[in-house]
Amino acid sequence: MEYWYRRVTATIRNDSGHPLTLMPVGDFDGGRWLGGGSEPPPKIKTIASGGEQQFVVESARHSTGCEGRLRFKVGDTGKVWEIYWNNPFINACGETNDYEQTLDGKRRGVPVDQDDVDDDLAVVKYTCLSEGASDKPGATAPRAPDTQNAAAEAGKPAHVSAPAGPTIVLTLVASFPYMYGSDANEVALMAKDSWSPTLKDFEEIAIFETDLLNKQRPGSAPKPKVIVGLRGFLEAFSSLNAGVRCSRVNLITHSTSSSVALSGTVESSGRTTWMDFNESPQLSVPDRAVEAAKRVETIDNSAALKDDHGQGCFLSGAMTRNAWFHDPTKGRSDRDAIRSKMAPGAEFHVYSCDAATKEKGSLLAPAMLQLIANAFNVRTFGFTTPIFYLPKKSGPRILDRNITGLGKTEEEALTNAKPGIFHNDDSASQKALASFIVIKEPNPVP
């Protein structure tokens, strides 16, 4: 996320014993609803007793913060509950972000700051207390019925929120080992438009981005993790320290429209492959069109993932509602373990070629991105056009592998080229390059 961007992800818990009804009078002293909408999300307009809902606000302009308040009627009591947040662009003299909650103008309860690392992307929880509850942080009324389980039993998606704890930005790099042999061989393939990036390119970009994040917020981005297959993907989360949650996950890889690679091979010819459940190659451009007929006979997109976690990619069919990731006898425990490592409002960014394109004979990848969002309960980002890797060359040598750009052609991508990869879908790009960016909100499968 760009250094000038600010965000507040807020959870409202209603333990008052009465429904909360959002009042039309609210103030934004700075910022806006996430995505620039003029209306609050419908889910916070009425919050049942015992219920919990979430909203997100963000910077409205470059180098500005988020500040505002919302007011709720507390049932028919005649009382007004108000919440306030302030995540300024600059915190002077070491001050922290500011959160308050009041009942009829008097402080009642203490909001819980759930973000110990990155206050730029702040996370906070407000609780509207019952009449007899303690004012201490975390105090609640006697538990109301479990609305989350009730929603699941009723066949509705249940929202799974992670507990409080420090948050990090986790960057995962799919292993595509370097097999070109030399810069000269790569440059020759680039001249023939047959080159494809490898782990060498992915790692250089990932290290650049995490170093930049850690300069802005020390300790907020651990060293990028190279993953091999689904097992490596799962271990990237299980190896995190207890209590650590991810505010954002980045996956740098290759893909087709219905298959996101978790490891694979770039041959010395530039041909790129990875393996699906049937060990049939998922092929990148230009080989897809050539071998499409062969693949139709061998690839079963409805197959489950291998139970031994040897799977090399996410297949759309393996992530649908009743497939492996949601089957209580197979992958649901892995899915829930990953969900538990996601902070409220977490994002999942897929940086790959064709991660949101529509191809003849393939599934529509915005649907693939939606499946990822639903599986891990994260806001998921992808692209409608390839990310172009644009190494700097001098004769037969490659001087810099750290440049990428977004566009329908390499020429167009060059006009948007910058160091790193996160710039392709940062806030500025979401406006300037909106037609190339796909964002899917989670609708979690219970």
- R_g of the chain computed on alpha carbons: 23
Q: What count of Cα atoms within 13 Å lies in the side-chain half-sphere of residue 368? A: 28
pLDDT of residue 164: 39
Cα separation values, 306 from 15, 30, 256, 315, Å: 43, 49, 20, 11
> Per DSSP, what are the bridge partners of residue 8?
57, 122
229-238 and 332-339 helices, crossing angle to 10°: 40
| Amino acid 97: pLDDT | 79
Q: What pLDDT, on the 0 to 100 scale, is given for residue 96? A: 64
Strand ranges of the sheet holding 121-128, from the earlier edge strand across to the other edge: 32-33, 52-58, 7-14, 121-128, 112-113
Question: Along the chain (446 residues), what's the average pLDDT of each consecutive run of 10 residues?
Answer: 67 92 78 78 91 86 78 93 84 62 87 66 87 55 32 30 62 91 93 89 93 86 89 89 91 81 84 56 36 31 34 64 72 89 92 53 60 90 86 92 87 89 85 84 84
How far apart are the C-alpha atoms of 141 and 18, rounded to whole Å?
A: 12
Q: What is the set of domains in the chain, with CATH numbers?
A: 7-145 (2.60.270.50), 167-440 (no CATH)
Residue 20 to residues 25, 32, 57, 87, Cα–Cα distance (Å): 14, 22, 20, 25
pLDDT at 34: 81
pLDDT for res 25: 61
So what's the pLDDT on residue 319?
A: 66
pLDDT given for residue 348 in this prediction: 94
| The predicted structure's pLDDT at residue 316 | 64
Q: How far apart are CA 116 and CA 168, in angstroms?
A: 10
